[in-house]
Structure 1
Amino acid sequence: MRQKGAIQWVGIFLFFGLISLPTTAAAQGSRNYFTLEKAISQALENSYKIKARNERIEQANDIMKQARADFLPKLGTAYSYNRLSEPPISRTSTLFGTQIPLVVGTEDNFRWTWFARQPIFTGFALLSSYRLAELGIDQSQLESDLEKLDLVLRVKETYFNILGADKAVEVAETTVESLSQTVKVARSFFEVGMIPINDVLKAEVELANAEQSLVRGKNLAQTARSTFNTILVRPVNAPVEVEDILVYKPEAGAFADFEKKALENRPEIKILDVNIQQTDQQIRLAKSKYYPEISFTYQYI
């Protein structure tokens, strides 16, 4: 009975172990199998350059908050301490011509000052600085958008490079297999005296060239996968399988329309516009020194 129970437990463990194996293999395969959409999503999520651009956006927001704070009143305090060698004395003359010394201070002198300062007019310097900070946010956001577009383009290029390299490998393998059969047939014909040795050598040379092309094709396919892994921030030698795209969808439209749309929407063009506005604000900021500055200051001692 005890042996029978042990056999039953072993059978249960083997059953669940066999069930878990395909699941594990499928999970491993899903991590290495990519559609174009999955590749783009993972690249955008893992890219260090995108993360750096997001940090620059946060930095630009902090700079704008700092520029906004310059419009608010500034509060401050000052403290000083002086010690004299002897108390200050003032001498007062009496009606009889004698002088009476009077102590008018102390040896230890403390001073604590509170003040508030509110800028009223700074020659548009504060407005220009704030506007420059706003434009800095716009520029950082546009640079982030441009980085994302460039990253998506690189993902698509490497994705289709893998597809093209795999197809080239398939063609090369078919060619090698076909030429191998040709060499076998040529050798058979040569052995029975139907063709000269030159035809056999020619077939063998063509086979050797095809084998070299196959090796080069496999190397290109592996290089394309390594580039793909680098862009997606994966181990460079991690296995990669991509979904083939069999449907061709031509983009309808005229070239002039696409050119116009690119000039309107491309981040590079918008960044140039932002740079022009930044230059205008920098000129205005430099001219602010020509104007007088007016501020309200309250001081309490």
Structure 2
Amino acid sequence: MRRIWWIFFVLILSSPGFSAGDRVFTLEECLRLALSRYPALKAALARKRAAEERERAAFREHLPKLYAGYEYRRYRDQETFKTPFGTYPLRGREEAFFAVTVKLPVFHGLAISTRHALRRLAIKVSEVEEARVRQELIFRVKEAYFRLVQAEREIELARKSLERRRAHLRDVRGFFREGLVAENQVLQAEAETREAEYRLLSAENRLKVARARLNMLLQRPLTAPLRVEPRFPGRPVRESYEKLLRLALRNRPEVKAALLAVRSKREELKLVRSRYFPWVDLEAQYYKRGDTLDLSENPYGDRENAWVGLSLNWELWDWGIRGREMAAVRAEILARREALREIEDRVRLEVREAYLDLEAARKKVSVARAALSAARENFRLVKARFREGLADTTDVIDAETLLTRARSEEIAARADFEIARARLAYAVGLTELP
């Protein structure tokens, strides 16, 4: 029975009336798919995991390390010690040595803790990079989504324009048969109808390109059927420009990355300075000696022993290498600070441009809506005058062209507003504006 239900379910899914192309994707669903599939974001997450693993490894540098070693030598001649009373052997022709050593760093001039701090900063850098990739992907998905909405609406507009041209062509032919219009008006109506068919083909091609671009971001086959919710939210931006600018200087990943770069160089300066201090290690060792491979015998001394001690290493002279390296790092810190200032200036400019573009897009929407309303009324009046014989084909075609252009500009203005809003959010460093 279960198998019968399964076969029935598969048949339903494979039927012509049920396909993935019938599903309408919302913007939220597109964003969710892209954020879970896009390779660049997965790569950023992988780099973040790598940075976390390196930070864990750097922390373990504080812990003691265990070493084991084994050596075996066979000498050509037996080593001896000569005295006035005779010659005595020091070791046999074979020698083996095995040791287990524990080494704990006590003080390395803060080098270990500084390297750990650098690894922690690397994690923050990877998090900032992930946020940058995520925000860029969200903007690109929104842009592709609203361009697809625009393309779908322009398809509808092109089809309606073609229908109006064909309806007008039928009217003109009817009037021509009754002798009310000249033949040139029929020819003009036919040419304008062909031109509307050409615009429909161009709109269909733009729709395919827009669908492929969004499919690519969603990691779907480029030719896969895809329909989106045909709406423009049109939500206004209530925050002032000054507040958005403050948010950008605090949230933009590029600014955060530049600040982390300065901090990283400061930690690197500490790392170079640590070479001026002595390094102290606590060590303990257990060893065995023998004149056989298995160290079972040592007739020349102790076969095994153990010791505990401190080792100190201090680099006293290096021909000024450490000083030059510190000078180089200080210069790099200055360069990173100047780079930070440049990035902040660029962020200010990008926010300003995005804000002005949004304001311009908002005004264009108002203008386009007013123009569309006037074009509709103009087309209605010209059409009525044509039926009364008070206007010719040229007047109707011009009115219809004006109406089509006004509707297309209104659609483009609304799409541009949504994309400008998304671009402003991206310039501020947010996934969505408050």
Aligned to 1:79: 70
Once the two structures are TM-superposed, the CA of residue 130 in structure 1 deviates from its matched residue by: 0.8
1:221 and 2:207 aligned: yes
Aligned position for 1:129: 115
Paired amino acid for 2:71: S
Q: What are the within-5 Å matches in structure 2 for residues 12-161 of structure 1?
A: 21=12, 28-29=19-20, 32-93=23-84, 99-161=85-147
Aligned counterpart, 1:235: 221
Are residues 1:190 and 2:176 paired? yes
State the superposition RMSD in angstroms: 2.6
Q: Deviations over 1:111-146 (max 9, x none)?
A: 223323222222222122111100111111111122
CA distance 1:141–1:225, shift in 2 (3 Å) = same
> CA 1:291–1:176 in structure 2 vs 1: closer, same or farther (change >3 Å)?
same
Deviations 1:62-94 (A, max 9, x none): 11112112212222123222223343344454x
DSSP-derived class of the 2:99 partner: strand
Q: Tell me the equivalent position of 1:162.
A: 148
SS of equivalent residue, structure 2 residue 237: coil
Distance in 1, matches of 2:14 and 2:167, equals 41
| Normalised TM-score (structure 1) | 0.83
The one-letter amino acid paired with 1:87 is Q
Aligned equivalents of 1:166, 1:42: Cα separation in 2: 21
Structure 2 equivalent of residue 202 of structure 1? 188
2:262 paired with 1:257: no
Offset, 1:254: 1.5
Q: 1:274 to 1:205 in 2, by over 3 A?
A: same
- How big is the shift at 1:31? 7.5
Letter in 2 for 1:123: G
TM-aligned CA deviation for residue 214 of structure 1: 1.0
Percentage identity across paired residues of the two chains: 27
Q: Tell me, what secondary structure is at the counterpart of 1:106?
A: coil
Quick check: 1:263–1:269 contact (8 Å CA) kept in 2?
A: yes
* Residue 169 to residue 285, structure 1, CA distance change in 2 (3 Å): same
Q: Which residue of 1 aligns with 2:312?
A: none
Structure 1 unaligned blocks of 5 or more: 1-12, 94-98
SS of equivalent residue, structure 1 residue 201: helix
**TM-score of the pair, normalised by structure 2:** 0.59
- The CA deviation string for residues 232-267 of structure 1, in whole angstroms up to 9 with x for no partner, is 001111111112336543232212222222222222
One-letter identity of the residue aligned with 1:194: L
Cα distance in 2 for partners of 1:142, 1:36 equals: 25
The answer on whether the counterparts of 1:32 and 1:239 sit within 8 Å (CA) in structure 2 is: no
- Secondary structure (helix, strand or coil) at the match of 1:113 reads strand
Gap change, CA 1:64 and 1:294, over 3 Å in 2:
same
CA contact (8 A) 2:33 2:218 kept: yes
Task: Give the paired residue count.
Answer: 282
CA distance, structure 1, for counterparts of residue 239 and residue 40 of structure 2: 33
- d(CA) in 1 for partners of 2:12, 2:82: 106
Partner of 1:4: none
Cα distance, 1:209 vs structure 2? 1.9
Match of 1:289 in 2: 275
Q: What amino acid does structure 2 have at the position aligned with 1:84?
A: Y
SS in 1 for 2:66: strand
Question: Is 1:273 paired with 2:269?
Answer: no
Could you tell me which amino acid in structure 1 is paired with residue 219 of structure 2?
Answer: V
SS at match of 2:128: helix
1:171 maps to: 157
